[in-house]
Amino acid sequence: MQFTPDSPLPRDTESRSQAVGGEGSLPVWDLSDLYAGPADPVLEADLQRSTAESAAFQAAHAGKLADLPGDALAAAIATYERIEEVLGRIMSYAQLVFAGDAQDAANGRFYQTMQERVTAISSNLLFFTLELNKLEEAPLEAKLAQSPALARYRPFLRDLRVFRPHQLSDEAERLLHEKEVTGRSAWNRLFDETVAGMEVKVGEETLNVSAALNKLSDRDRGVREAAARGVSAAFGANARLFTLITNTLSKDKEIVDGWRNYPRPGSSRNRANMVEDEVVDALVGAVVASFPRLSHRYYAMKAKWLGLDKMQHWDRNAPLPDEDDSEIPWDAARDRVLAAYSGFDPQLGSIGKRFFDRPWIDAALRPGKASGAFAHPTVPAAHPYLLVNYHGKSRDVMTLAHELGHGVHQVLAADQGYLMSGTPLTLAETASVFGEMLTFRAVLDAETDPRRRRALLAGKVEDMLNTVVRQIAFYRFETLLHDARRNGELSREEIGALWMQVQVESLGPAFEFTPDYEIYWSYIPHFVHSPFYVYAYAFGDCLVNALYGVFQDGKVADFPAKYLELLRAGGTLRHQELLAPFGLNAADPAFWQKGLDVISGFIDELERADGRDELERADG
């Protein structure tokens, strides 16, 4: 049973979030499609039922999978999927409650309690995937050939067995699983609660981290500098804690990777992304080699536009002189994004509209709310939720377009079921970046003023540099940090030096970095929550650039229909199979160059426009 928003049961967390938000026109999500509140008796009933069902499942199947015929094994997987989806629903709700207000101690306790209870329940299920991986190839293939019901789960089994060489004994796997709540998850929670509770002084204002970071794109350079100094001071005051968290998690990863026999720190992430280490190396190598023609070249132009000999780190996201920084109302942002989605394909727009018609988006600004933005898929039986912090800037509109792409992707893939609807991170950014590109192109094509058009194009270049160059720099930082950590615990200064190294090489000679920038590594949540995640953004951006180029060429018949089929596939197909209908191959070294050439082409266009402006000024 699901409770609707008008359920008589209390929705304490949702009501409190709305009251604190105070934004009026900005939407706040209603999580009652998952549960009516932390005290919802349905939540407790789901926990109790899952406890009993997981224990019964273990008793019925542990040690017996090899002897099951194909149809019986398929039925066992279906039961496992059903129990896991209920646990996924519980944890989705707990995560979203916590993200809505991490400052509320009750939310933190609720999140931790749910983690502990779900971990205990899922310990009864842990044997299942371990035992599936112990099945020999030939007998498993025979079962798949004999049973259409089991063959449906072939993608699930394929992706599970990627980890077969890295699987430990059942006892070791159970120990790691159960200790997660007092290990990595506990450090993640400590980081989140610390950042959520931080106050940043910006001039006479006291802001949370999200609002302070937003000031780094203020038109007033003095405000940007004050915000940058405030962020540096706030994170610097917590540097000892963040250094400890980083060192501990890095060492924890080294220990687990060593036991699992992964060749290098990023390998486990690459296996999860269903991509080879060599493919990631090719992407990283291509982007690093392109730093001079991308970021170095662009930021040299930006410094000139801003009238600066050298830029500081607080100038990186500064608005351009011709940029329209007027506030964009929420309704206008919604209409802009939906028009772009619908213009590409009406079904895409129709699915996107659901998120605005129903309380599936939290855009309000309030203390304690998670910074940044995300799309949470929850479970196929429910629907995704989007979190954004909407400040009314043009970048916020693009963020909305990005997260809506994730949401639409998750809706379309839901028919694949809980075990196969999720995509590897390398493909998870496809719909989001494509949605951004659709929205940007629609806005750019509608603009006729040359100066505003140039500002729009420059803004898009900056977003792409943030997605590709900056994320690969982050990946390089993580690689250097984890490699160095193997030689012993790192000091704050040593970590800061690695951070500055990658910033200098990636952003180029247009910048002159002040020493206070050395602490900025500490505010990136991906380093804590998802080590080596960040290259997936660059992977997705380059992939979408190539994909969008095919769309523009018009040489692929029924492109929108094929694109929607790509999204519907969820995690059932690998990137080679998904890209084949579009004539693309990510294993080809030239593939990455195509994506980077799109960014370089935009910068070429900006240089030409800049040259025309200089001629006009000279003639004048």
Q: b/e string for 582-600 if b means 16 or more Cβ within 10 A?
A: bebebeeeebbebbbbbbb
Q: What is the mean pLDDT of residues 396-424?
A: 95
CB 520 within 8 A of CB 261: no
pLDDT computed for residue 336 by the predictor: 96
Higher pLDDT, residue 7 or 596: 596
Q: What is the mean pLDDT of residues 213-217?
A: 92
State the number of CA atoms in the 13 A half-sphere of 564 facing the CB.
15
User: Any idea which architecture 12-182 has in CATH?
Assistant: Up-down Bundle (1.20)
Rounded Cα distance, 467 and 598, in Å = 13
Question: For residue 287, is pLDDT > 50?
Answer: yes
Pairing of strands 361-362, 205-207: unpaired
Higher pLDDT, residue 499 or 167: 499
Higher pLDDT, residue 48 or 540: 48
For the chain, the average pLDDT equals 91
Question: For residue 22, is pLDDT > 50?
Answer: no
> Which H helix or E strand runs over 248?
helix 239-260
Q: Which residue has the tokens 């995300």?
A: 374
| 524-550 pLDDT tens trace | 999 999 999 899 889 989 989 889 989
Q: Which two tokens stand for residue 5?
A: 């928003």
Q: What is the mean pLDDT of residues 269-279?
A: 87
Q: How far is CA 436 from CA 132, 351, 373, 442, in A?
A: 40, 16, 14, 10
pLDDT computed for residue 614 by the predictor: 61
Q: What is the DSSP string of 345-388?
A: -HHHHHHHHHHHHTT-EE----TTSPSS-EEE---TTS--EEE-
Domain boundaries, the chain: 12-182
Q: Which two tokens stand for residue 117?
A: 């209870």
Q: Which two tokens stand for residue 446?
A: 């509608």
Collapsing DSSP to helix, strand or coil, 207 comes out as strand
pLDDT computed for residue 273 by the predictor: 86
pLDDT computed for residue 10 by the predictor: 27
- Give the global pTM: 0.80
| 73-99 pLDDT tens trace | 999 999 999 999 999 999 999 999 999
Higher pLDDT, residue 475 or 21: 475
pLDDT computed for residue 23 by the predictor: 41
Q: What is the mean pLDDT of residues 37-50?
A: 98
Question: For residue 13, is pLDDT > 80?
Answer: no
DSSP state for residue 399 in the 8-state scheme: H
